[in-house]
Amino acid sequence: MINLLCQNRTDEPDETGKEAVVTGDQLNIRAGAGVDFPTIAPPLAIGTPVKVLEEKEGWVKVETKIAGWVSKAFLKFE
């Protein structure tokens, strides 16, 4: 089975520089792009606005009060 969250998808638009909103409840924000990295802050709540700084293989570096990585699957881009 292919894990689409870890695949580098070129058919999806690059969201760098855009605003997004968290759609997942208690979304972990991590030190790096992947579940192997530790969480660095309390989870983000549904509706939390974030700014997209960078993308990498299904993960997005976002900025709120801090900067960290979240799964792109749990963001809605505006």
Query: At residue 60, what is the residue type?
Result: V
Please give the class, per CATH, of domain 19-77. Answer: mainly beta
Express each pLDDT in 26-71 by its tens digit. 999 999 999 999 999 999 999 999 999 999 999 999 999 999 999 9
pLDDT of residue 78: 82
pLDDT of residue 36: 97
Residue 75, H or E segment: strand 75-77
Whether the per-residue pLDDT at 8 is higher than 60: the answer is no
Query: pTM of the full predicted structure?
Result: 0.81
Token pair 């972990």 is at which residue?
Answer: 28
Q: Can you tell me the distance from the alpha carbon of 50 to that of 64, in angstroms, rounded to the nearest whole number?
A: 5
Q: What are 62's two structure tokens?
A: 């976002």
Query: At residue 26, what is the residue type?
Result: Q
Token pair 């089975």 is at which residue?
Answer: 1
- Mapped onto helix, strand or coil, the DSSP state of residue 31 is coil
pLDDT of residue 11: 58
Domain residue spans in the chain?
A: 19-77
What is the arithmetic mean of pLDDT over 5-17?
Answer: 62
Query: At residue 74, what is the residue type?
Result: F
